[in-house]
Structure 1
């Protein structure tokens, strides 16, 4: 299986107000997020690609327009956990690129959430 990944960045605030009051994530705070989308294929196309990285440009536009410098509680319909965001980005990408195999979201340099069906 061939796999490619592309990384995207954005900054945003959120508040996980469903958590207990003394939980640090229940307070308003922000992150410098990293989103990684992974695409996989058993064979390569006529150009030797799983998919041309240039084809992923709409994801950058979507992230910039919808998530960057936003309050995620206003953007997401579910709590804006990294896990929910990974699933959201996976679904968004899978609808456009059938080769999508996973999406990962990082809130800090040491934490990652991944959605892979």
Structure 2
């Protein structure tokens, strides 16, 4: 199996209002997010690629236009926008356009990652 991945960055705010009062993530706060999309294929295309990295430009535009410097609760219409939910959201978006999508990882901090892999 061949695997490729590409990393994307954006900054945004969110609030996890379902958490107990006093929990730091219940307050409005922001992160510098990292999104890594992974694609897999058993065979390479005629150019020797799983997928041309250039074709992932649509994901960059989607992230830049819809997520960067936005309030994620408003973007996704939820009060529980976690890294886990973002990973699933980006996975579904990518899988619809790039059938080779095998996983998406999202980081909110340099030490934490959430991944969605069906």
Coarse TM-score class (shorter-chain normalised):
over 0.9
Unpaired runs of at least 5, structure 1: none
Aligned to 1:46: 46
Q: Would you say 1:26 and 2:26 are equivalent positions?
A: yes
Q: Say which SS state the counterpart of residue 95 (structure 1) adopts.
A: helix
Q: Distance in 2 between matches of 1:77 and 1:103?
A: 21
Aligned to 1:103: 104
Unpaired runs of at least 5, structure 2: none
Q: Distance in 2 between matches of 1:72 and 1:90?
A: 16
Q: Distance in 1 between matches of 2:96 and 2:56?
A: 12
CA deviation profile, 1:44-96 (whole Å, cap 9, x unmatched): 00000000000000000000000000011101133210000000000000000
Aligned to 1:112: 113
- What displacement does 1:104 show? 0.5
Structure 1 runs of 4+ aligned residues shifted over 4 Å read none
**Stretch deviating more after TM superposition (75-84 or 7-16):** 75-84
In the superposition, the TM-score normalised over structure 1's length comes to 0.98
Say how many residue pairs are matched: 117
Aligned to 2:12: 12
Aligned to 2:81: 80
In the superposition, the TM-score normalised over structure 2's length comes to 0.97
